[in-house]
Amino acid sequence: MATYKQFEDLPVWKKAKELGVSIYSLTKGNPFARDYHYIAQVLCHLGLSINLQVQRICNL
């Protein structure tokens, strides 16, 4: 079993970060570019919440 010193080393953290970047790149183009509220919701609720939960669980 692997041991991790930081939550950033966890595979789930890395995958969640990739997901957040993918969501951001998909929503920065039209037709999403003008709908700032929608982009904020998608990025905060889908892309960032996974990373925040992993960080909170690790409590590092």
Q: pLDDT tens, position by position, for the chain (60 residues)?
A: 778 888 888 888 888 888 888 877 877 776 766 777 777 777 667 667 777 788 787 775
Q: Is residue 22 domain-resident? A: yes
Q: Is residue 50 domain-resident? A: yes
Number of structural domains found in the chain: 1
pTM value is 0.64
Q: Is residue 1 domain-resident? A: no
What is the extent of the structural domain holding 31?
Answer: 7-58
Q: Give whole-number Cα distances, 4 to 12, 40, 49, in Å.
A: 12, 31, 21
Half-sphere CA count of 4, side-chain side, radius 13 A: 14
Q: Is residue 2 domain-resident? A: no
Q: Is residue 40 domain-resident? A: yes
